[in-house]
C-alpha cells in the first residue's frame, strides 16, 4: 500500500536548509493499521503531508497504492487524493459554510459521482449523526465535528486513511468513542490506516508502531 | 465541467464584508459607465433624429455677405438667393429666404432695452419641423400682425404678449411667445433671445445698413429622394467661390456637435478613471475575500478539487456577488439621463424624449460582470499559493498580509492602468478624437507615476521621522507596517480626490478670471454697427458714462472681409476650427499704433501710415503658414485688397477686450466703407443708463453685454463641471472603497493589536486615539497628494489650454485639504471602531487569532 524509499524532505528557510525528514524508508501492507509516534516537531505531520501528496519529497520515492507521487502535477495529485485517500485532522477542518451532510458529500461532489446526498446521509447514519445532518460545523460539538470528518474521510471508500492526532482536541471519553468509530470503520471497509498520535493507549491498538525522532525513523518497535 | 460544489462554499461570514465591497465597487463603476454611455447615446440620438429639424430644412445656404444697396428696400438675401436659383433650380425644390442679425429691442418710453437675435423669415418657414407657440395662434397669423419673441425676452424687458416693442425705427406688437423653434441650437452661445419677424417687414426697421452684420439664409426643401449631401457636394466649389456656406442636416451645428462629442468623451474618460480606482478596490476585495476563505480552499484542494474546479468555484462566487449589483447599476445607469435632466439641459432639444435602452442596461451589466471576473482573475492566480499542506500545520493561518501589498499592488496598478488606458485610447480613436484620447492617456500615466512617487516619498519621509508623542509613534508604526497595502489606498484616494480638487480649482480659476476681473479690465459693452455719420454722436452720448481709466472707451473702424489665398487649395474644415479655415470671414481694422494688450513678437510696427502693411496674430499666422513678408489678400464686398505682412502680434484674449486677428495700416482700408466698433468700460451701476442712452438714440447700433456672454459661458462650464464633479465623486467613493477593503482586511490584526495595547494598560480612549492618528496620517498624506494632483492638473489646463495665468486660491486649497483629510480619517476610523472595543479576555482566550 505505502512504499517510501530513502525519502527526505527539506526546506530553505531564510537562506538556510532545514532538513525535516531524513532518509525514510518504510512499507505498509494493505489493511494494516500503523501508528506513528514521536515528539512534537519531529516531522510526523510532514510525513503525512508527503503521503497525501500535498508536499513533494525533495529526495527519494513515494509510492501510495501503486501510484508514484514524485513529479505529479497538482491536478494529478488532486485526482490521486480523490481516489485513494481520506484524511482526519486534529482540528477537524470542516468547511464552515456547509452543513454536515454537505461536508460529507464534498469528496463525492468533487469527483463528480452521482447520488452524493444519499451516500452522505448513509455515512452520517453510520457515525450516528443522521439527526444533525443539516447543522453547520459551528453548531456541533468537537466530538460531533470529528465524527463528521470521519464520515467525510470514509465516504468515498478510500483504500488509505491518514489520521493526524484525531483525538488531540477531545476529552478522554469522547476520544474513546472516536477511536472506536475509526477502527470499526477501518475494519468495515478494509482500509489501511496511518495514524499519528501521542496517545500510548491509542498506539497500542495499532498493528505496529513507527517512531520518528528528529526526522529520522527509529525503526519498527512494538507499540506501547 | 460539472461544478457540484455548493455555490456558497466560499462565503464565510468573515468574507461577506469583502463581497459587499466588491459588489459596491462594481455597482459604482457600472452605474457611472452606463450613465455616461446612456447620456452620450441620448445626445447623439437627439442630434441625429432632430438633425433635419435642427436645420428646419434639407439644405441651407448661408453667407454673411453685404446686402446690395439697390435691393436693400426689398431686403431679400439677394446674393444667396440668386446663387440658389442659378445652381439649384429644380421643379420640386422649395426655396425659403431669410435674414439673421442681432439688434436692440427697446421698450418705448422706458430705458429698457436688450440685444435680440432677429430671424426674418418668409411665409413658408420652416420647411421642416414645426414652430410651437404658446397659446392658440399659428405662426403665420402671429407674424402677420407683429413679432414673436422668446419668453426670456418678455421676462427681461418686463413685457407681456400683446405689448409693443421697438425694433429700429418701428414698433411691433408682440403677438405670441415662442415655445420651440426647430433650428434654435445653431450656436452654443447666443447673444440674446430670439425674435421672429416676417421678412417683408425688416426693411421698415431701417436696421440693415451698409456693413451691418447680416447673415443671408436660403433654406431649401428638396424633392422626394434627393440627397442633400450629394447636392451640397456638387455645388461646393461654386459656393466657396461665392463665399457661401452649405449646411446639410448631418453637418448642422458643427460647433455644437464638436462640443457635445468632447463633452461626452471627457465624461467617458473620467468614468474610466473611476473604473481604474474601482478595479483596485475590487481586486483588493477579491484578494481579501479569497484570503478569508483560504482554509476552505485548502480543504477543497485536499479533498481533490483540481484547478478547473477551483476556477469555476471562484468565478461562480464572483458571479453571485456581482450579478445583482451589476444589473441594478445597469438599470439605474440607463435611467440616469432621465433622472438628471439638468446635466443635459440646453444640449438637447426640449422636445427630445429620453427612452432608456434595455440593451444598453444589459450590455453594461454584462460588461460589469466581465470586468468583475477580470478583477477576480488576479487574486485567483495568487490563491494558487494556498496549499492543503497548510492544513497539517495548525499555526499556518495567522498570516494577515495586506491583500494588495508589495509587488502585487504594483502589478495590479500596471495591469489595470493598461486596461483603462487602452479603453481610453480606443474610445478616443472611435469618437474621432484620438488626439484628446492620447492626451488623456498621457495625463493618467503621468498622474499615476506622480502619485506613486509621492507615496513612496512620503512613506520614506515618515520612516525618517521620529515623533515624541507616544500615540503618534504607535500610529506611525501601524501605518508603516501596513505601508505596503496603504500604497494602493493612497494612490486610489489621491487620484479620486485629486480629480474632484482639480474640478474645484479649475472652476474657481475660471470664475476668478471671467467674472471678478470684469469691473476693472473688461468692457461692459461692445457696441457694433456704428455708422461713420453716427460716430460723433455716439462719442458724446457715451462720454458721461465712460469710466475714468485709460482706454475705457476704444473705437475701431471695422469691415468684414473674406481671406483669399489663391496659391493654396482651400480646405474649409468645419469640424476643426483650430485648423484655421481659409475662407473664413474676419473682422478687419486699421490703426496707427499697436493696440494695448498686444505685443509684437516678430517684425516691426508700421512707421508710415501711407504704406500698405498688415499685422497678423501669431497663432493665426502659424495656423495658416503665414510669415513676415507674405502677401495677405481679403475680399471686401467684392473688392480685393492686398497688403504685405510686416509684423506678428501676441494677443491676450482672456481680457475679453477688443482684439483683432488682422490689423492693417491706415492706407489699406482707405476707400472701404467702414462701420465702427466700440468697447466701453463703465461702472456696474452705470451700465443700464449707458445702454439706454445709446439704444434710445442710435437705433441701429447693437450692444453686446459682456456680462451676458460671460454668464452664458459660465453656465455651460458649470454644466460640464457639474457632471465632472458627479463623476469625480464616484472616483472618491471608489477610493474610499479601496480604503474600506484595506481596513476590513487588516481587521483581525488591528483587533489583536488594539486588544494587546489595552491588555498592556492603554485605556479604550487611548486606543481610539492611536487609531485616529493613524487614519489622520493616512488622510493627510492622501489629501496632500490629491491637492498636488489637483493643482498640477489645473495649472496645466489653465496655462496650457487656456493660455492664461493660473491663480492659486489658498482658502479653497485649504478647504479641500481639510475636507479630504476629514473624510478619509473618519471613514477609516469608523470602519475600525468595532475593533477597539473587543474584550481583553478575548485575546487571552485566543479568540482573536
Ligand atoms: N512550511 C514550513 N516552514 C518552516 N518550517 C516548517 C514548515 N513545515 C514544517 N516545518 C518544520 O518542520 C518540523 C516538523 O513539523 P511537523 O509539523 O511535521 O511536526 P510534528 O511532528 O507534526 O509536530 P506536532 O507533534 O507538534 O504536530 C517543525 O520543526 C516545523 O517547524
Ligand atoms: Mg503535527
- The yes-or-no verdict on residue B571 having pLDDT over 50 is no
pLDDT band at B565 (very low <50, low <70, confident <90, very high): low
d(CA B104, CA B527): 11
Instruction: Indicate the range of A31-40, B16-25, B117-126, B562-571 predicted with least confidence.
Output: B562-571
d(CA B679, CA B682): 10
Residues near B559 by beta carbon (within 8 Å), at least 6 away in sequence: B211, B587, B588, B589, B636, B669, B672, B673, B674, B675
Instruction: Indicate the range of A166-170, B2-6, B538-542, B765-769 predicted with least confidence.
Output: B2-6
Average pLDDT value for residue range B134-161: 87
pLDDT band at A60 (very low <50, low <70, confident <90, very high): very high
d(CA B76, CA B217): 9
Residues near A171 by beta carbon (within 8 Å), at least 6 away in sequence: none
Nearest CA in chain A to B296: A95
Average pLDDT value for residue range B830-834: 81
For chains A and B, CB pairs below 8 A equal 84
Ligand 2 centroid, distance to A44 Cα (angstroms): 6
Question: Which residue of A95, A103, A148 to mutate against B (max B Cβ within 10 Å)?
Answer: A95
Give the DSSP letter of residue A205: T
Instruction: Select from B455, B511, B504 the least CA-distant residue to B483.
Output: B455
Nine cell digits for residue A78:
488532486
pLDDT band at B10 (very low <50, low <70, confident <90, very high): low
pLDDT band at B80 (very low <50, low <70, confident <90, very high): confident
pLDDT band at B397 (very low <50, low <70, confident <90, very high): low
d(CA B87, CA B236): 11
* DSSP-assigned letters across all residues of B147-195: EEEEHHHHHHHT--TT-EEEETTEEEEEEEEEEE-TT-TTSS--SS-EE
Ligand nearest to C-alpha B390? 1
Distance from the A204 Cα atom to the nearest Cα atom in chain B, whole angstroms: 24
Q: Which residues line ligand 1 (CB under 6 A)?
A: A 11, 13, 20, 38, 40-46; B 393
- Which residues of chain B have a CB within 8 Å of the CB of A93? 295, 298-299, 302, 391
Instruction: Please tell me the predicted confidence (pLDDT) of residue B846.
Output: 55
Cβ <8 Å between B4 and A112: yes
Instruction: Please tell me the predicted confidence (pLDDT) of residue B481.
Output: 67
d(CA A138, CA B251): 70
Q: Which ligand 1 atom sits closest to the C-alpha of A198?
A: 25
Q: Is B11 near chain A, with CB under 8 Å? A: yes
Instruction: Please tell me the predicted confidence (pLDDT) of residue A67.
Output: 92
Cα atoms in the 13 Å half-sphere on the side-chain side of B130? 5
- The yes-or-no verdict on residue B497 having pLDDT over 50 is yes
- Which residues of chain A have a CB within 8 Å of the CB of B304? 78-79, 81-83, 107, 110-111
Instruction: Please tell me the predicted confidence (pLDDT) of residue B433.
Output: 67
In chain A, what are the domains? 29-44+73-221 (3.40.50.300)
Tens-digit pLDDT profile for residues B601-634: 888 898 888 888 999 988 888 878 888 988 888 8
Q: What is chain A's mean pLDDT, rounded?
A: 89
Instruction: Please tell me the predicted confidence (pLDDT) of residue B567.
Output: 47
Rg (CA), chain B: 33
> How far, in whole angstroms, is CA B12 from its chain's centroid?
45
The three-point CA angle A10-A11-A14 to 5° equals 145
Average pLDDT value for residue range B100-109: 86
| pTM for the model | 0.72
- Which residues of chain A have a CB within 8 Å of the CB of B6? 98, 102
Q: Which ligand 1 atom sits closest to the C-alpha of A44?
A: 21
- The yes-or-no verdict on residue A66 having pLDDT over 70 is yes
Q: What is chain B's mean pLDDT, rounded?
A: 78
Tens-digit pLDDT profile for residues A97-110: 888 999 999 888 88
Backbone phi, psi, residue B112, to 5°? -80, 135
d(CA B389, CA B291): 16
Instruction: Select from B201, B210, B205, B206 the least CA-distant residue to B69.
Output: B210
Q: Is B4 near chain A, with CB under 8 Å? A: yes
The three-point CA angle A169-A173-A176 to 5° equals 85
Tens-digit pLDDT profile for residues B307-365: 888 898 888 888 888 899 999 999 998 888 777 666 666 555 555 677 888 888 998 89
Write the residue with the smallest CA distance to atom 25 of ligand 1.
Answer: A40
Cβ <8 Å between A54 and B307: no
Cis-peptide, bond into residue B126, ω within 30° of zero:
yes
Instruction: Indicate the range of A22-26, B455-459, B478-482 predicted with least confidence.
Output: B478-482
Instruction: Please tell me the predicted confidence (pLDDT) of residue B48.
Output: 64
Q: Which ligand 1 atom sits closest to the C-alpha of A49?
A: 18
- The yes-or-no verdict on residue B579 having pLDDT over 50 is no
d(CA A175, CA A169): 9
Question: Which residue of B304, B310, B383 to mutate against A (max A Cβ within 10 Å)?
Answer: B304
**What DSSP element (H or E) covers B239?**
helix B236-242
Instruction: Please tell me the predicted confidence (pLDDT) of residue A22.
Output: 92
Nearest CA in chain B to A46: B392
Option in A46, A89, A106 nearest B5 (CB): A106
Instruction: Indicate the range of B194-203, B473-482, B524-533 predicted with least confidence.
Output: B473-482
ipTM of the complex: 0.91
What is the layout of strands, in order, in the sheet containing A16-28?
Answer: A16-28, A2-13, A59-64, A67-68
Instruction: Please tell me the predicted confidence (pLDDT) of residue A148.
Output: 94
Nearest CA in chain A to B297: A95
Average pLDDT value for residue range B708-716: 68
| Residues 379-408 of chain B whose Cβ lies under 8 A from any Cβ of chain A | 387-389, 391-394
- The yes-or-no verdict on residue B434 having pLDDT over 60 is yes
Cβ <8 Å between B304 and A97: no
Cβ <8 Å between A112 and B2: yes
Distance from the B308 Cα atom to the nearest Cα atom in chain A, whole angstroms: 9
d(CA B659, CA B109): 35
Amino acid at each position: 500500500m505505502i512504499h517510501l524509499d530513502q525519502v527526505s524532505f527539506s526546506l530553505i528557510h531564510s537562506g538556510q536548509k532545514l532538513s525535516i525528514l531524513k532518509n525514510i524508508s518504510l512499507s505498509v501492507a494493505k489493511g494494516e493499521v500503523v501508528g506513528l509516534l514521536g515528539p512534537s516537531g519531529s516531522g510526523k505531520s510532514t510525513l503525512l503531508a508527503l503521503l497525501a501528496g500535498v508536499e513533494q519529497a525533495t529526495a527519494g520515492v513515494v509510492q501510495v497504492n501503486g501510484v508514484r507521487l514524485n513529479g505529479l502535477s497538482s491536478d494529478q495529485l488532486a485526482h490521486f487524493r480523490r481516489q485513494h485517500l481520506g484524511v482526519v485532522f486534529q482540528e477537524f477542518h470542516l468547511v464552515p459554510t456547509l452543513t454536515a451532510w454537505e461536508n460529507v458529500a464534498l469528496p463525492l461532489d468533487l469527483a463528480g459521482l452521482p447520488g452524493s446526498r444519499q451516500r452522505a446521509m448513509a455515512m452520517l447514519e453510520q457515525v450516528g449523526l443522521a439527526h444533525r445532518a443539516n447543522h453547520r460545523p459551528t453548531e456541533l460539538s468537537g466530538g460531533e465535528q470529528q465524527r463528521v470528518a470521519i464520515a467525510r474521510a470514509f465516504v468515498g471508500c478510500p483504500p488509505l486513511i491518514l489520521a493526524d492526532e484525531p483525538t488531540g482536541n477531545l476529552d478522554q471519553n469522547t476520544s474513546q468513542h472516536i477511536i472506536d468509530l475509526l477502527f470499526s470503520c477501518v475494519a468495515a471497509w478494509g482500509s489501511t490506516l496511518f495514524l499519528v498520535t501521542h496517545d500510548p493507549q491509542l498506539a497500542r491498538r495499532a498493528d505496529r508502531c513507527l517512531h520518528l525522532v528528529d526526522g529520522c525513523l527509529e525503526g519498527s518497535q512494538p507499540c506501547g | 465541467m460539472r461544478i457540484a460544489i455548493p455555490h456558497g462554499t466560499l462565503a464565510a461570514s468573515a468574507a461577506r464584508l469583502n463581497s459587499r465591497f466588491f459588489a459596491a465597487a462594481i455597482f459604482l463603476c457600472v452605474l457611472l459607465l452606463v450613465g455616461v454611455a446612456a447620456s452620450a447615446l441620448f445626445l447623439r440620438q437627439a442630434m441625429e433624429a432632430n438633425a433635419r429639424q435642427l436645420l428646419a430644412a434639407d439644405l441651407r445656404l448661408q453667407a454673411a455677405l453685404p446686402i446690395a444697396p439697390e435691393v436693400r428696400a426689398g431686403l431679400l438675401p439677394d446674393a444667396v438667393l440668386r446663387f440658389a436659383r442659378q445652381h439649384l433650380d429644380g421643379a420640386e425644390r422649395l426655396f425659403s429666404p431669410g435674414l439673421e442679425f442681432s439688434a436692440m429691442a427697446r421698450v418705448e418710453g422706458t430705458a429698457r432695452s436688450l440685444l435680440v437675435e432677429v430671424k426674418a423669415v418668409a411665409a413658408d418657414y420652416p420647411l421642416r419641423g414645426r414652430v410651437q407657440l404658446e397659446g392658440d395662434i399659428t405662426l403665420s397669423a402671429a407674424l402677420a400682425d407683429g413679432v414673436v419673441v422668446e419668453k426670456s425676452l418678455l421676462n427681461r424687458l418686463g413685457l407681456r404678449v400683446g405689448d409693443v416693442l421697438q425694433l429700429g425705427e418701428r414698433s411691433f406688437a408682440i403677438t405670441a411667445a415662442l415655445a420651440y423653434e426647430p433650428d434654435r441650437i445653431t450656436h452654443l452661445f447666443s447673444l440674446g433671445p430670439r425674435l421672429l419677424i416676417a421678412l417683408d417687414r425688416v426693411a421698415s426697421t431701417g436696421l440693415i445698413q451698409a456693413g451691418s452684420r447680416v447673415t443671408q439664409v436660403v433654406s431649401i426643401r428638396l424633392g422626394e429622394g434627393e440627397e442633400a449631401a450629394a447636392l451640397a457636394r456638387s455645388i461646393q466649389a461654386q459656393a466657396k467661390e461665392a463665399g457661401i456656406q452649405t449646411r446639410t442636416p448631418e453637418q448642422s451645428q458643427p460647433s455644437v456637435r464638436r462640443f457635445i462629442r468632447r463633452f461626452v468623451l471627457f465624461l467617458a474618460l473620467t468614468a474610466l478613471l473611476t473604473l481604474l480606482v474601482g478595479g483596485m478596490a475590487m481586486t483588493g476585495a477579491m484578494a481579501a475575500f479569497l484570503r478569508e476563505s483560504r482554509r476552505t480552499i485548502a480543504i477543497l484542494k485536499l479533498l481533490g478539487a483540481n484547478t478547473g474546479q477551483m476556477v469555476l468555484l471562484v468565478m461562480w462566487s464572483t458571479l453571485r456577488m456581482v450579478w445583482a449589483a451589476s444589473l441594478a447599476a445597469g438599470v439605474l445607469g440607463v435611467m440616469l439621463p432621465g433622472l438628471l435632466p439638468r446635466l443635459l439641459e440646453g444640449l438637447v432639444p426640449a422636445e427630445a424624449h429620453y427612452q432608456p435602452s434595455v440593451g444598453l442596461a444589459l450590455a453594461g451589466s454584462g460588461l460589469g460582470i466581465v470586468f468583475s471576473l477580470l478583477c477576480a482573475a488576479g487574486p485567483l492566480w495568487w490563491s494558487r499559493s494556498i496549499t492543503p499542506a497548510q492544513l497539517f500545520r495548525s499555526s499556518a493561518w495567522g498570516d494577515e498580509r495586506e491583500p494588495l501589498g508589495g509587488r502585487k499592488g504594483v502589478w495590479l496598478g500596471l495591469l489595470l492602468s493598461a486596461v483603462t488606458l487602452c479603453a481610453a485610447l480606443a474610445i478616443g480613436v472611435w469618437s474621432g478624437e484620438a488626439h484628446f484620447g492620447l492626451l488623456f492617456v498621457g495625463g493618467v500615466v503621468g498622474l499615476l507615476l506622480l502619485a506613486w512617487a509621492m507615496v513612496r516619498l512620503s512613506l520614506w519621509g515618515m520612516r525618517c521621522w521620529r515623533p515624541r508623542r507616544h500615540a503618534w509613534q504607535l500610529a506611525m508604526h501601524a501605518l508603516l507596517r501596513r505601508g505596503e497595502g496603504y500604497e494602493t489606498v493612497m494612490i486610489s484616494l489621491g487620484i479620486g480626490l485629486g480629480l474632484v480638487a482639480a474640478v474645484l480649482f479649475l472652476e474657481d480659476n475660471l470664475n476668478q478670471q471671467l467674472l471678478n476681473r470684469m469691473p476693472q479690465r473688461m468692457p461692459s459693452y461692445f457696441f457694433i454697427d456704428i455708422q461713420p455719420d453716427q460716430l460723433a454722436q455716439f462719442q458724446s452720448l457715451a462720454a458721461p458714462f465712460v469710466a475714468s481709466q485709460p482706454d475705457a472707451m476704444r473705437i475701431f473702424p471695422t469691415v468684414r472681409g473674406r481671406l483669399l489665398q489663391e496659391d493654396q487649395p482651400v480646405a474649409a474644415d468645419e469640424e476643426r476650427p483650430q485648423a484655421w479655415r481659409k475662407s473664413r470671414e474676419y473682422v478687419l481694422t486699421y490703426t496707427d499704433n499697436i493696440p494695448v494688450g498686444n505685443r509684437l513678437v516678430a517684425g516691426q510696427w508700421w512707421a508710415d501710415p501711407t504704406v500698405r502693411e498688415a499685422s497678423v496674430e501669431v497663432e493665426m499666422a502659424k495656423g495658416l503658414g503665414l510669415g513676415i513678408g507674405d502677401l495677405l489678400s481679403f475680399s471686401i464686398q467684392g473688392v480685393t485688397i492686398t497688403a504685405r505682412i510686416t509684423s506678428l502680434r501676441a494677443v491676450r484674449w482672456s481680457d475679453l477686450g477688443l482684439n483683432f486677428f488682422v490689423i492693417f495700416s491706415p492706407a489699406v482700408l482707405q476707400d472701404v466703407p467702414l462701420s465702427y466698433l466700440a468697447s466701453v468700460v463703465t461702472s456696474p451701476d452705470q451700465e443700464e443708463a449707458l445702454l439706454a442712452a445709446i439704444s434710445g438714440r442710435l437705433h441701429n447700433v447693437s450692444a453686446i453685454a459682456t456680462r451676458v456672454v460671460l454668464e452664458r459661458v459660465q453656465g455651460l462650464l458649470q454644466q460640464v463641471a457639474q457632471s465632472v464633479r458627479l463623476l469625480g465623486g464616484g472616483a472618491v467613493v471608489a477610493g474610499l472603497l479601496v480604503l474600506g477593503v484595506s481596513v476590513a482586511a487588516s481587521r483581525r490584526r488591528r483587533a489583536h493589536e488594539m486588544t494587546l495595547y489595552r491588555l498592556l494598560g492603554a485605556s479604550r480612549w487611548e486606543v481610539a486615539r492611536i487609531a485616529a492618528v493613524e487614519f489622520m496620517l493616512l488622510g493627510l498624506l492622501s489629501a496632500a497628494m490629491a491637492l498636488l494632483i489637483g493643482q498640477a492638473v489645473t495649472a496645466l489646463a489653465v496655462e496650457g489650454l487656456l493660455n492664461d495665468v493660473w491663480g492659486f486660491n489658498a482658502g479653497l486649497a485649504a478647504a479641500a485639504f481639510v475636507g479630504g483629510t476629514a473624510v478619509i480619517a473618519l471613514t477609516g476610523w469608523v470602519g475600525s471602531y468595532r475593533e477597539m472595543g473587543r474584550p481583553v479576555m478575548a485575546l487571552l482566550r485566543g479568540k482573536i487569532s
